[in-house]
Structure 1
Amino acid sequence: MSGRALVVGVTGISGGNVAARLLAEGWDVLGLCRRPVELDPRITALTADLEDADAVAAVVRGTAPTHVFFTTWSRRETEAENCDANGRMLQNLLDAVSDERSVRHVALTTGLKHYLGPFEAYARAQPDTPFSEDQARLPYENFYYVQEDVLFAAVERDGFTWSVHRPHTLIGWALGNAMNMGVTLAVYGAICRETGRAFHFPGSSEQWEAVTDVTDAGLLAEHLVWASTTPAAANHALNIVNGDVFRWRRMWPRLAEALGVESAPFDGEPAPLQVQMADAGEIWPEVVRRHGLRDTNVETLASWWHTDADLGRTIETFTDMGRSRRLGFLGVRDTESSFTGLFARLRKERIVP
């Protein structure tokens, strides 16, 4: 099954990968973003600020999408502001496509902060693991909850089917994305190698020891398309992770080897990347010059704060994939290969040495 897809946030890690998947399967793809940089020429670019309802309505008018993939978000100073901004962004988009009367399915990508809480209350509670879609919402403001409620209200109004997708940490190709641990670690490893620094695990002892998982961005794309075209998967919230689990104490030295850098012994104390990489802005231009890399700002590539948040958790975090499996989704990825495959592409594209 194929159709006319509107991918909202098409330049991000989720949107870019789902757009590539849709194109490979023969879909007609519209891509909405604020800055259509390096888009596949087969994508029809739509440019608008999602917080501007009139601008969104103007670019969507007449496009008649059959499927919507909402894969973007905007970070604000407080969760109350996150709720307001991200709720309005989704509301504006759903109001715009409502006028088209063509949409059959809307897929919303959120994440595991549904279970862990927003940044302001991050990991204050310890929900039972593995995280299951039927767990109750936490008693904190959370823009994921606001977006779900906006989606459900639009479903009542317009009658399309829906799916909500909850990935863990995303690993995959995207540049300038706020949540891309894979690119962040590749840049960190490159700087360590160039400066002779050891590759220190930046997070907590709990994360070093605990079982965890991640999500390959290509697998998320597969999951999004599957849920949007499989009747049995309609109208469900769905976790999506690779399907394997690991411990950082075993994965970290393997990633160090893949990056050609020495892994430092973990002493039990966090070593945040925001501190370790405080001078990255001074070092990176010389790395770029020395190796003839693409001239990319290090702060565009690496998201130190987000990787620190992921690896600094003091609670166990892994996810139940049972619901998707029972509904027929059998996709899996090998997590070490998710990382090493990304590292190889970053080298090929001259992003890291």
Structure 2
Amino acid sequence: MRWRLDRQVDWTPWRGNVMAWKKILIAGGSGLVGSKAALHFGAQDGCDVLVASRRPPPVAGVRHLRLDLTDRVACAKALTGHGDITHIVYAAVYEQAGLVAGWSDAKQIDVNDAMFRNLLDPLAGSVALRHVTLFQGTKAYGVHIRPFANPAREGRSEYREQPNFYWRQEDHLRETQVGKPWSWTILRPVHVFGDTIGVSLNAILGVGLYAAIMKHRGEPLHYPGGPPRLSEAVDADLLARCVAWAGEAETARNQVFNVANGDVFTWENVWPSLARVFGMELGEHRPLSLGQEMSRESAAWDEVRARHDLLSPSLEAFAGKSLQFADYTLRYGMGPQPPQLVSTVKLRQAGFHEVMDTEAMFAKWFGRLQADRLLPPALADAG
């Protein structure tokens, strides 16, 4: 690290694998994506990590800036003293109570647009700022609206005809960056999986809660979803490392990338391995809305927690809106649909080559939830 006598940082990156000092602001650091980014950067030498969120992040060793991103005046005031921020990772998102229905709602679009502006605008003119990372997803290709041609590719398969807060945020990012020295990267991960609890878009929580309650009742692990559909996933830790790469790589500057584990899966094909992780017999195909049925099982979940002396909170605090999202990704109540896959060739060619076996990813995250006493252990007795 090189310091000037006036204590201003020399922002020129060091060569090789050692990077310059960074002050990273992560918006939405209590969520699935943001918390894993905070965990990754917090473990790196030379990183000062500041998490902006209403809830404290579930990560030790980072600083918390309690901030309501919908309050423009509060954001401007809170960020005034942080002109030395070098990287912004924007992982915040506002979701409505109706989750999937809210994805096309005008209010959801307006709120997410305003939140991003409220965070970016006070920092956009800083001479210290080097990079902004923004997240989208496969809704950029209209996955929630229509089948699309496989595989979806950046720059040619976007569905801008469909209202989406992605476009408002992206347009503002591009316009704000004109004439400034910092760069940006937009990452479009497919379904993200991890062990962060209480969030909206982590299907692992809904599946894990369902398995725990079925096992508690002595049932096998029935498959509750709809017809098979070939899908992709991305491990939250892998995504965090991709964020770190994007913030420094020359080839990532002002680019959009799809991000995925590198393989494909169907829920039906990984279901037997999940039954083994939970220590359960494999059941039948019994379609069931987890969002409707499991949300009524607060008492059963409390019994599971008490029986196994779990550290997990109440059902609502544990699952968030993930039961609704599990219905969506498991395709409950939906008819047959073609695969909807994305190409990650552009990301590989740019230099990020990490991959992960998706079946191993599921075992990893469910295993961590069990090890942290948030789900019952695999060998626990049913009943």
Instruction: Name the TM-score, length of structure 2 as normaliser.
Output: 0.85
Percentage of pairs with the same residue: 32
Q: Distance in 2 between matches of 1:133 and 1:143?
A: 17
Contact 1:61/1:100 (CA < 8 Å) preserved in 2? no
Q: 1:50 corresponds to which residue?
A: 69
Q: 2:373 corresponds to which residue?
A: 350
Structure 1 residue 70 and structure 2 residue 90: aligned? yes
Give the superposition deviation at 1:24: 2.2
- Paired amino acid for 2:53: C
- Sort the Cα spacing of 1:132 and 1:58 in 2 relative to 1 into closer, same or farther, 3 A: same
Give the superposition deviation at 1:37: 4.7
Give the superposition deviation at 1:150: 1.8
Equivalent residues in 2 for 1:256-267, closer than 5 Å: 256-266=275-285
Q: Distance in 2 between matches of 1:157 and 1:350?
A: 50
Structure 1 residue 167 and structure 2 residue 155: aligned? no
Write the deviation string for residues 34-91 of structure 1: whole angstroms up to 9, x where unpaired: 0215431x21211110010111122222222101000110013452111100000000
Q: Distance in 2 between matches of 1:315 and 1:299?
A: 33
Q: Distance in 1 between matches of 2:44 and 2:95?
A: 32
- Paired amino acid for 2:258: N
The worse-fitting range, judged by mean Cα deviation, of 76-85 and 221-230 is 76-85
Q: Distance in 2 between matches of 1:170 and 1:273?
A: 19
Aligned CA RMSD, in angstroms, stands at 1.7
Structure 1 residue 298 and structure 2 residue 315: aligned? yes
Contact 1:219/1:331 (CA < 8 Å) preserved in 2? yes
Q: 2:55 corresponds to which residue?
A: 35
Give the superposition deviation at 1:198: 3.6
- Sort the Cα spacing of 1:22 and 1:295 in 2 relative to 1 into closer, same or farther, 3 A: closer
**Structure 1 segments of 4+ aligned residues over 3 angstroms from their partners:** none
SS where residue 229 of structure 1 aligns? coil
2:162 to 136, 140, 146: 140
Q: Distance in 1 between matches of 2:132 and 2:282?
A: 43
- Paired amino acid for 2:310: L
List gaps (5 residues or longer) in structure 1: none
- Sort the Cα spacing of 1:272 and 1:315 in 2 relative to 1 into closer, same or farther, 3 A: farther
Structure 1 residue 324 and structure 2 residue 347: aligned? yes
1:131 to 141, 144, 152: 152
Q: 2:5 corresponds to which residue?
A: none
Q: 2:35 corresponds to which residue?
A: 16
The structure that has the greater radius of gyration is 2
Q: 1:200 corresponds to which residue?
A: 222
Q: 2:137 corresponds to which residue?
A: 111
- Paired amino acid for 2:185: S
- Paired amino acid for 1:283: A
Equivalent residues in 2 for 1:261-276, closer than 5 Å: 261-266=280-285, 270-276=287-293
Q: Distance in 1 between matches of 2:288 and 2:234?
A: 24
The worse-fitting range, judged by mean Cα deviation, of 252-261 and 67-76 is 252-261
Q: Distance in 2 between matches of 1:157 and 1:55?
A: 27
Q: Distance in 2 between matches of 1:227 and 1:249?
A: 34
SS where residue 276 of structure 1 aligns? helix
Contact 2:225/2:327 (CA < 8 Å) preserved in 1? yes
Q: Distance in 1 between matches of 2:219 and 2:292?
A: 14
Contact 2:195/2:366 (CA < 8 Å) preserved in 1? no
The worse-fitting range, judged by mean Cα deviation, of 288-297 and 97-106 is 97-106
Matched pairs, number: 342
Give the superposition deviation at 1:157: 5.7
Q: 1:81 corresponds to which residue?
A: 107
The worse-fitting range, judged by mean Cα deviation, of 235-244 and 128-137 is 128-137
Q: Distance in 1 between matches of 2:91 and 2:338?
A: 27
The worse-fitting range, judged by mean Cα deviation, of 292-301 and 280-289 is 292-301
1:93 to 119, 124, 130: 119
Contact 2:154/2:257 (CA < 8 Å) preserved in 1? yes
Q: Distance in 1 between matches of 2:349 and 2:304?
A: 48
Q: 2:16 corresponds to which residue?
A: none
Contact 1:70/1:109 (CA < 8 Å) preserved in 2? yes
List gaps (5 residues or longer) in structure 2: 1-18, 97-101, 377-383
Contact 2:52/2:64 (CA < 8 Å) preserved in 1? yes
Structure 1 residue 217 and structure 2 residue 236: aligned? yes
Contact 2:310/2:373 (CA < 8 Å) preserved in 1? yes
Q: Distance in 2 between matches of 1:38 and 1:218?
A: 15
Q: Distance in 1 between matches of 2:202 and 2:106?
A: 24
Contact 2:295/2:315 (CA < 8 Å) preserved in 1? no
Contact 2:206/2:323 (CA < 8 Å) preserved in 1? yes
Give the superposition deviation at 1:253: 1.4
Structure 1 residue 189 and structure 2 residue 220: aligned? no
1:226 to 236, 245, 257: 245
Q: Distance in 2 between matches of 1:319 and 1:43?
A: 34
